[in-house]
């Protein structure tokens, strides 16, 4: 199982709304994540709106993204969430995900 970490920044004015939406993620989106091996998926937020995301997958990071890109619900979710993020231009948030290098792990 590959462990994946990534960072994003939420616009200050959207932090509370972002958290609200993630308390009620669309069931179809949750199903797609599970279907494509996004396991143990968590998102953490600092008071400044910096997000740290983590998930485990049987795939590479690129494969996990590519598999989700095949789902219409993912495209709809990415369109819906895009206005909340800083510095992503006209792209979907998942198109701006950069894998962090794992430098330490213990079980």
Per-residue pLDDT of the chain (107 residues; tens, 9 = 90+): 999 999 989 999 999 999 999 999 999 999 999 999 999 999 999 999 999 999 999 999 999 999 999 999 999 999 999 999 987 777 777 887 788 899 999 98
Kindly report each contact of residues 32-38 with a partner whose C-beta sits within 8 Å and lies 24 or more positions away, as own/partner: 32/68, 32/71, 32/73, 32/74, 33/68, 35/71, 36/64, 36/67, 36/68, 36/71, 37/64, 37/67, 38/64, 38/68
Active-site entry in 22, 36, 92, 105? 22
Residues of the chain above pLDDT 90, percent? 82
Quick check: is 22 catalytic?
yes
Which domains are seen in the chain, by residue range?
2-96 (3.30.70.100)
Residue 84: predicted pLDDT: 92
């Amino acid at each position: 199982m590959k462990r994946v970490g990534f960072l994003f920044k939420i616009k200050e004015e959207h932090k509370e709304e972002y958290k609200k939406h993630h308390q009620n993620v669309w069931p179809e989106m949750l199903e797609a994540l599970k279907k494509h091996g996004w396991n143990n998926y968590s998102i953490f937020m600092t008071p400044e709106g910096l997000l740290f995301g983590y998930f485990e997958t049987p795939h590479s990071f690129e494969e996990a993204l590519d598999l989700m890109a095949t789902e219409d619900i993912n495209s709809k979710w990415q369109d819906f969430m895009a206005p909340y993020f800083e510095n992503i231009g006209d792209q979907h948030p998942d198109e701006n995900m950069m894998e962090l290098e794992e430098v330490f792990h213990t079980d």
